[in-house]
Amino acid sequence: MKFNGFRNGIGIMLLVAILLIPLYSPVQTFLSIPNKITMFSKQDSFQLPALGDNVTVSANSEEKVIEAIDTSEFKAIDAGSGNVIYELAGLPVKKVNVDVLDDLKIIPGGQSIGVNLHTLGVLVVGHHQIETANGKVSPGEEADIQVGDIILEINGKKIKEMKEVAPYVKSAGDNGAELNLTVKRGDEKLKTKLKPYLDEKEDKYRIGLYIRDSAAGIGTMTFYEPKSKKYGALGHVISDMDTRKPIEIHNGTIVRSSIKSIEKGNNGTPGEKQAEFSANEKKIGNITKNTPFGVFGKLDKGISNGQMDQAMPIALSYQVKEGPAQILTVVKGEKVEAFDVEIVSSVPQKFPATKGMIVKVTDPELLKETGGIVQGMSGSPIIQDGKVIGAVTHVFVNDPTSGYGVHIEWMLNEAGIDIYGNKEKAS
């Protein structure tokens, strides 16, 4: 019995010791050392925790990609791979892998832009009934065409604009024929037949569908890359106002826009920028992609924001810190201004995700003008410590002073700018 009690006591002591080891300061320091660091050449240095006078830290790489500044700080020299070794009495106890990426700089935006999108095919946004000699009918519903469907082809011919639909409807109606439609629903393509009916009131053949081939709105430019002229804006997908589904685009353009007034946000009601632009205004770039991370394309030429027009380095998601930052945006006319915000939280992300940061407006002037984050501010670039770290995307409905931000690396990825050079992303 005494032996069992002794053994149990030893077991309890060992258990307590195991639980307390992670709380021991040197162990905490050791556990805080990352396994991997990703950084940019000619931009960054990094500091590693020191483990005491008995432990040496040294840079090791076949190529000269990193070098020591002092005993615990290192800087990136050139693109490549290396590592930092912790040694105790000549024996390695920890290795930190270091990937150094090619130098990359982008020019932040902040300009208010008008967005014109032309859909892939024509988008079905509603049904309506037709008054015929035999009563009311809805041809679109009879053909099982749903709101959100995209009509790609009629009778084997591609459809790009609404005006192309009417001649097919008239011809089929005059000849008592059906239309053969190719419809896109989600990722699936479907075939169906649609019979036009004669509208007794207007004496025209109708198909009972509300359709649309374009959409327009405003947002904010986030960045452009000066060599390729590739840009990113908005930071979120553009959805159709009726179907609430992302718009699949055939092409699109962006133009300058001017902010005329601001409807301030209140708890429960997001505010909104009131802007003015013309679809016929000279375009400043095209739109080739509409994704969850924004709209993307190429600028016809470089544009200026008058605030921060020099190319700036970027921060990867793990480099973003909680604390002060700035956003660039327009609250009146076309003048881009810098306003203070706070990064309340930031999540290091291994894979693309739209909600990587929580951003809070702290600038008294911006709070006075807008109440915080408002619609139309989406895409406003976020700057921290001289680096572009992301863009404002969504406002919190119940707290208009705060909202979400997306990390810049995911927007660059969507723009077709490969920041990793096929390297594995930061751990």
pLDDT for residue 178? 95
Is pLDDT at 134 greater than 70 in this prediction? Answer: yes
Q: For residue 312, which amino acid is it?
A: M
Mean pLDDT score of the chain: 87
> What is the tens place of the pLDDT at every residue in 367-403?
999 999 999 999 999 999 999 999 999 999 899 999 9
CA nearest neighbour of 229 among 158, 152, 297, 319:
297
Structure tokens at 163: 């005006």
Which whole number is the average pLDDT over 35-64?
71
Kindly indicate the confidence band of residue 426, based on its pLDDT and cuts at 50, 70 and 90.
very low
Instruction: Check whether 279 has a pLDDT greater than 90.
Output: no
Residue 26's nearest CA partner among 53, 46, 60 is 53
Flag whether pLDDT at 24 surpasses 50: no
Nearest alpha-carbon partner for 223 in 316, 107, 308:
107
pLDDT digit string, tens, across residues 311-347: 999 999 989 999 999 999 999 999 999 999 999 999 9
Average pLDDT (22-32) is 62
Q: Are 379 and 315 a contacting pair, CB within 8 Å?
A: no
Looking at residue 149, its pLDDT comes to: 94
Q: Which helix (H) or strand (E) holds 280?
A: none
Q: What is the pLDDT of residue 18?
A: 53
What is the pLDDT at residue 8? 61
Higher pLDDT, 92 or 18: 92
Tell me how far apart the alpha carbons of residues 404 and 393 are, in angstroms, rounded to a whole number.
6
Catalytic amino acids? 236, 363, 378
What pTM does this model have? 0.82
